[in-house]
Structure 1
Amino acid sequence: MRLIVIAVGRLKAGPERELVDRYRERFADLSRKLGFRGLEVHEITESRARDTSTRMSEEAAAITALIPEGAIAVAMDERGKAIDSATFAAQLGRWRDESSGTVVFIIGGADGLSPELRRRVKASFAFGSATWPHQLVRIMLMEQLYRAATILAGHPYHRA
């Protein structure tokens, strides 16, 4: 199963970019043995439209253009379901075992995801009830994907 992260906003060189790259590399090292075919990250330029609805619509169009046909779309959204790491890993494992070709995780910009895009997703997850900057959500998602792989592999990284 192929995993894709589509995120609004570009990370500059620095600690945030380094963390994303570190977790992606760790995931790649472990994931091949688990039936995952890679983890791609696509960055979408933030819309410069003046009003919120136009910004959200423009960003949604750019995101939608990158979602492969038949992919499972998952929103990372503050209104989503807060799940623990073991549940997240189990869900990834189920999608993999059901021969889902691609799972796409979507991280919106400062205004969030458009209502149309939120309605289109199969699942919506949140990292608790707090609102997080989208750059941090990307880092947290990458860590959780790596953690999920370690859980599925029985690796000692996850101690709960």
Structure 2
Amino acid sequence: MTIKLLAIGKTDNKDLQALIDDYQKRLGFYIKFEFEIIPDLKKVKNLSEEQQKQKEGELILNKLNATDVLILMDENGKQLDSVGFSSYLQKHMNSGIKRLVFLIGGPYGFSPDVYQKANGKLSLSKMTFSHQMIRLFMIEQLYRGFTILRNEPYHHR
């Protein structure tokens, strides 16, 4: 199985990007991992929030395969602790799917078409974080999940 993290917009903080790169490298020891950025939309000043979500949704849906299992990182999604998340990952690995895609949307969330395509929603917290921070948190939690599944000490450091 491959895990893909898909996000809208680049990370412009070099320190944050260095941490993302570090955890992405670590994660590669456990599973095939892909991280793809969909560039920010251009000329959004004339677009409503709904129009932006619709255009981002089209870009997102073009990046997905028909067999992908799509999980939205959404403030209204289910919250899991790290051990629960590791079990969530194991369940998906056991199901025989080819690719599990976690999606971090743009500033206004997801279009109705993306919600319709989704197989589930997860939330990292009731708090609001920047979309750039969520990338780091998500990759770190993926890494943590695999160290839990392998019974490695990282989780309790």
Q: CA RMSD in A?
A: 1.4
Q: Identity of counterpart residues, as a percentage? A: 28
- Return the alpha-carbon distance in structure 1 between the equivalents of residues 85 and 27 of structure 2: 15
Whichever residue aligns with residue 147 of structure 2, its letter is T
SS at match of 1:157: helix
- Return the alpha-carbon distance in structure 2 between the equivalents of residues 108 and 2 of structure 1: 20
Q: Who is 1:8 aligned against?
A: 8
Q: Given the two structures, how large is their TM-score scaled by the length of structure 1?
A: 0.91
Q: How does 1:83-98 map to 2 (within 5 A)?
A: 83-98=80-95
Structure 2 unaligned regions, length at least 5: none
Shift of 1:13: 5.6
Q: Who is 1:126 aligned against?
A: 123
Shift of 1:115: 2.7
CA offsets 1:22-54 (integer angstroms, 9 cap, x no match) = 11111112x0xxxx3x11111011224321111
SS at match of 1:141: helix
Shift of 1:102: 0.4
Q: Who is 1:105 aligned against?
A: 102
Q: Who is 2:71 aligned against?
A: 74
- Return the alpha-carbon distance in structure 2 between the equivalents of residues 103 and 146 of structure 1: 15
Q: Who is 1:47 aligned against?
A: 41
Q: Structure 1 residues 97-106 or 112-121, which shifts more?
A: 112-121
Q: Residue 61 of structure 1 is aligned with which of 58, 67, 70?
A: 58
- Return the alpha-carbon distance in structure 2 between the equivalents of residues 109 and 19 of structure 1: 21
Q: Who is 1:137 aligned against?
A: 134
Shift of 1:128: 1.3
Structure 1 unaligned regions, length at least 5: none
Q: Given the two structures, how large is their TM-score scaled by the length of structure 2?
A: 0.93
- Return the alpha-carbon distance in structure 2 between the equivalents of residues 150 and 156 of structure 1: 7
